Amino acid sequence: MNEPTDPARILEILVDADACPVKDEAYRVAARHGVRVFVFANAPIFVPRDPLIERIVVAAGPDVADDRIAERARPGSVVVTADIPLASRCVKAGAQVIAPDGRVLDDRTIGPALAMRDLMTDLRSAGMSTGGPKPFTPRDRSAFLSALDLALVRAKRAGFASG
């Protein structure tokens, strides 16, 4: 069995921070579990002064932050993102993925999510009004908190250690 200090066995949270409405919730859950959080953004954003939280500012440009997150994602990573193509890449890398509304994106759910995203993109490009995303609600926030906590508990049971 791997030693808990093996970097590949350390649990971490990767946050796609641009327009993420649940950063503070991720910090709270991470603190409770003693897990490091890496916050990826295209511009400097505020993060609490905490040794468990690291801000990673990437160059501006399409998908630069996504690429960095996907490169880092692995088993033991819990990725927080609403970006479905990024979620797909992270699932393929073995990471757990949670959307800000608490939806778990995994091998079973990522295919339909990608198909729906592509359909909506096609409808919008054809000039149809799709109404946009539904408003973010307190229920979504609560679902996210539960999903993130459960993901960290599962990872710990699978032998990943807090960092």
Angstrom distance (rounded) from CA 151 to CA 143: 12
Angstrom distance (rounded) from CA 123 to CA 77: 34
- pTM score, whole prediction: 0.87
User: 4 falls in which pLDDT band (50, 70, 90)?
Assistant: very low
State percent of the chain over pLDDT 70. 90
Q: Which of 79, 99, 101 is nearest to 89 (CA)?
A: 79
CB–CB of 53/31 below 8 Å?
Answer: no
Q: Dihedral of CA 98/90/15/133: which sign?
A: negative
How much is the pLDDT for 1? 46
110-127: per-residue pLDDT in tens? 877 777 766 667 667 777
Please spell the DSSP secondary structure of the chain, one letter per residue.
---TT-GGGB-EEEEE-TT-TTHHHHHHHHHHHT-EEEEEESS-----S-TTEEEEE--SSTTHHHHHHHHH--TTEEEE-S-HHHHHHHHHTT-EEE-TTS-EE-TTTHHHHHHHHHHHHHHHHTT-----SPPP-HHHHHHHHHHHHHHHHHHHHTT-B--
Angstrom distance (rounded) from CA 73 to CA 76: 8
58-97: per-residue pLDDT in tens? 998 888 999 999 999 999 999 999 999 999 999 999 999 9
Domains and CATH numbers, the chain: 7-157 (3.40.50)
